[in-house]
Amino acid sequence: MSRTPKKRHPADVRDDARIALAVSYTVFFRKSPSEKYWESAATLADARAVAARMTAEHGKFGRRAGVYAVMPDRSSIFVPDSYAPH
């Protein structure tokens, strides 16, 4: 018996379309209120590698670095781990 894929929320579909237009990526990790780290990356693969490194260096108690796609208008949007470019 095969399962029908779960229908995606329209906002998730819209976000995926916006992420595909990213001009760069920013990785952010907040270790404490006064200790914050961020780093730019040119590609999503590079950003995910930076996020993995930051999480390994600074992650504690389940905290993880977040990846944000930077749009041409300089706005940004969070890139979930489940996002896969088409």
**Spatial separation of the C-alpha atoms in residues 78 and 61, rounded to whole Å:** 21
pLDDT in tens, 36-62: 999 999 999 999 999 999 999 988 888
For 72, phi then psi, to 5°, come to -55, -30
CB atoms within 10 A of CB 17: 10
Tokens coding 55: 């999480």
pLDDT at 2: 67
Q: Identify the pLDDT of residue 46.
A: 97
Q: In this model, does residue 84 exceed pLDDT 90?
A: no
* Domain boundaries along the sequence of the chain: 23-79
